[in-house]
Structure 1
Amino acid sequence: MGSSEQSGLSAGRRALWTGSLYYLLFFLASGAYFPFLYVYFADLGLDGKQIGLLATLSPIMTLLLSPPVAVFADKTRRRVQVAQVGLACTAVTVLFLRLPQKFALLVALMLCLAIFSTPISSVADGLVARMAQRRVLNYGAMRLWGSLGYAVSSLGFGALWQSTGLKSMFIVAPLLYVPVIAVVSRLEEGPSMIRRRKGSAWRLLADRGLLLLLFATFLAGISNSLAMTFSGVYARWLGGGNTLVGGMIAVSAVAELPTMYFSVRLARRMTDTGTLLFSYVLMAVAFVGFALLRTPSLLPALSVVKGLGYGIWIPVTVRMITGRTAEEWASTAQSLITLCLFGAAPLVAGPLGGLLHDSVSPAGVFWLAAGSLGVALGVVAGGGRRRW
């Protein structure tokens, strides 16, 4: 083996471990507070509509800021710096969330959190996804470390917050963001549009297959947003505690690990389209089960089913969309996924979920989640028949 081949293998291993470590540490920090954030708001006395309103702030900022921030990062080749600034400001905002008790102040801080966290998904995830494609690495094998970190964090901290109180998470989580910022500095920057002019990012939207994939991602994102916002609240409504909430997140995240790792093999056997459809079916079955429950005892088992589907859905979606775009638009392509998944979808899911929670029943939230996945399944099946 020549020196150039050895150097390539060494760079590939470094890239693999850097991407894996980023996801592990980032989701350790996120799992320390995010699964319990809306439970904390419910404990403060906020109702379903107020929680739904808070849940819309992040998607609004994602819609407004994610594409332009990503285009700026791509054109100026400052993806790493943009991601680091977003992480640092997110950590500071989480620290201040422990202070206010009034709804207006919570709105202001959640708005800041939404603004600062916007670049993270589109820019940092774009760096890792393109690094995986450039080095011919299994993106799912890196992303699964995020699921593992989220599982360990949510389960461990869920038990800890049960005894110390939820306010403690606003001190611990910001500290956990510090090593994430350091690891991001080691991600590969990739090419710059200043050096390689390939035209406008609007050309991405001329791809009909890409638009169908993004629409399906938006629909599936509605179900995911409903689950992220209301699963903990639903578990508490059924009679569960913070340990159960953390346990649900943990077992779901652990269930993602094998399907994320083997998502490439599944796609080879079932095609990308077939694998994506299979992920939608698994998640829809889980949400129907949620809606039918009358006690919290089966929530962890159904969370496992949901996790199996999620573990397929995310890496296959990222790979299918990334594969349709040029490398120099790495962050921009990821921003389109972020816009659909964390922008438009939660913007619809938050108010609808809050309305169903208060006016119909908490179970109605999960009927909506299953129905949204059913429509997404139809969109992908139709696109697959036309070969995108």
Structure 2
Amino acid sequence: MAYLFFAHSTITIINGYFPVFFKSQGLTGSQVGLLMAIGPCATIIAQPMWGYLSDKYKSIKKMIVIALIGLSATAVTFMLVNSYAGYLVMMFILFFFVSPTTALGDSLAQKTSVQKKVSFGRIRLWGSLGFAITSLVVGYVLTWIGVEKIMLPMLVMALVALAVAFSIKDVPGNNKPVTVLDAVKLTTNPSLFLFLLLAFFISVSHRANDIYLGLYVVELGGPEAMIGWAWFVGVTAEALIFATTAYWYRKWSPLTFVILAGVLYGARWILMAFVENPWLILPIQLSHGLTFAVFYIAAFQIINKLIPEHLLATGHVLFITVIFGLAGIVGSLFGGYIIEATSISTLYLIIAGSAFIGSIGLVIFQKKSSSHHTKEVSY
């Protein structure tokens, strides 16, 4: 639990404040978009590799420790860079090491929840708490020391996460050997592929908001500390949903919950598009719990049903690669160009449409799955 707290703390610094940092360095909207897209590009390469190695060597802990050592070294090196080309290189390396720290942490949390017979949400909420508290604290810290020193809190969180990582324990799993061919075969599962494709449309909207929320707050006249408050409110609501998973999760099927979350995402982005006072973002952020937390928990359970036990870490990381990696690339690049051509409010209207498209597609997917009674998607 402590590990998830500090691992997710590093992510809030990247998502919440890196775009503001790059803007403070005089970069354009499209340049910021490209920089934030480089990270997900690295994620696409890194996460499947880390997931495969975790399954092959039957140890998530070892991979997490190695990744955090690399992340700490990268944070130090990042402080020496002050050019756009240098930022491009460092963002790739940074995400290569930071992406598995949370993805594998969530995979281990899911396995632990099964072993301990507790809800996944009760464990995962600690990651949300880390994200929320750090987003608030770092906002004030950067107001004090200056956003140009953003790598200092990043390094501190990485080192604390590394120290805690040595105390976590692997969960014994299936001893069946894992080969590269096994991992590749996952991508040929038609039900898995179609679900990930439709979930991608919803995730693009989520990732675009992650990246440009801070800029939107500043554009509307809000202070940098308010970015932290926006994240704090949203992720606190997320943590509450994770904490109460056992009370609501069995009401409907996981796929129904994913569809519901997608529709709520669309409504949320429409509200964001018409905000004129930055303080109105805070009440809208309360819906983050009903969108991301519900989507993530339900989608994770669907993935568990579609993937063999001995490939769970690989499957979990593949899922996270799509919804955070691929979706992050599209959200970053597309969002950056839309902002330059129009405005951030227009971007919110467009991503609302993306969320609705994904939701409609999943409704059709659910109906066809039910009519065919396929084993993989019989929820």
TM-score normalised over the length of structure 2:
0.90
Structure 1: distance between partners of 2:181 and 2:89:
38
**Deviation at residue 198 of structure 1 after TM alignment:** 12
Q: Does residue 220 of structure 2 align to residue 238 of structure 1?
A: yes
Shift of 1:342: 2.1
d(CA) in 2 for partners of 1:368, 1:95: 38
Q: Deviations over 1:62-92 (max 9, x none)?
A: 2223223321221122422111111221122
The equivalent residue for 2:265 is 283
Which residue of the other structure, out of 6, 14, 19, is the alignment partner of 1:38?
Answer: 19
More deviation, 87-96/286-295: 87-96
Q: How does 1:148-227 map to 2 (within 5 A)?
A: 148-185=129-166, 186-191=168-173, 195=177, 200-227=182-209
**Take 1:202 and 1:103, find their aligned partners in 2: how far apart are those partners?**
35
Deviations 1:28-56 (A, max 9, x none): 34334541111011111111110111011
1:296-307 aligned at under 5 Å gives the runs: 296-307=278-289
1:130-181: CA deviation from partner (whole Å, max 9, x where unpaired): 2222332211111111111211111122122112212343122212222322
Q: Distance in 2 between matches of 1:225 and 1:319?
A: 21
Partner of 2:229: 247
RMSD, aligned CA: 2.2
- 331, 334, 340: which is aligned to 2:313? 331
Following superposition, the deviation at residue 192 of structure 1 comes to 5.9
Cα deviation for residue 373 of structure 1 reads 0.9
Q: 1:238 to 1:196 in 2, by over 3 A?
A: closer
Deviation sequence 1:89-121 (CA, Å, 0-9, x none) = 112222333333321111121121122223324
Q: Would you say the 8 A contact 2:222–2:278 is kept in 1?
A: yes
Residue from 80, 89, 100 that aligns with 1:99: 80
> Which residue does the alignment assign to 2:5?
24
Runs (4 or more) in structure 1 with deviation over 4 Å come to 192-199
Native 8 Å contact 1:62 1:338 kept in 2: no
Distance 1:157 1:117, change over 3 A: closer
- 1:356 matched to 2:338: yes
Instruction: Report SS of the residue matched to 1:234.
Output: helix
Question: In structure 2, what is the Cα distance between the partners aligned to 1:188 and 1:382?
Answer: 39
Shift of 1:202: 3.5
Alpha-carbon separation, structure 2, partners of 1:28 and 1:59: 18
Q: For 1:116, which of 92, 97, 102 is the aligned residue?
A: 97
Distance 1:94 1:364 in 2: 34
Aligned residues: 369
Partner of 2:373: none
Question: Shift in Å at residue 194 of structure 1?
Answer: 5.7
Q: 1:326 to 1:131 in 2, by over 3 A?
A: farther
Q: Secondary structure of the residue that 1:190 maps to in structure 2? A: coil
Q: Structure 1 209/134 Cα, relative in aligned 2: closer, same or farther at 3 Å?
A: farther
Contact 1:267 1:274 in 2 (8 A): no
**Residue equivalent to 1:83:** 64
Deviates more, 1:68-77 or 1:194-203: 194-203
- Whole-Å Cα distance in 1 between the matches of residues 236 and 258 of structure 2? 20
Q: Distance in 1 between matches of 2:181 and 2:84?
A: 45
Change beyond 3 A, Cα 1:196–1:31: closer
- Quote the residue 1:59 is aligned against: 40
Distance change (3 Å), C-alpha of 1:193 and 1:214: farther
| Contact preservation (8 Å) 1:97, 1:109 | yes
Deviates more, 1:277-286 or 1:329-338: 277-286
**Equivalent position SS for 2:81:** coil
**1:351 to partner: Cα distance:** 1.3
TM superposition shift of 1:293? 1.5
Q: Shift of the alpha carbon at 1:264? A: 4.2
With structure 1 as the length reference, what TM-score do the two structures score?
0.88
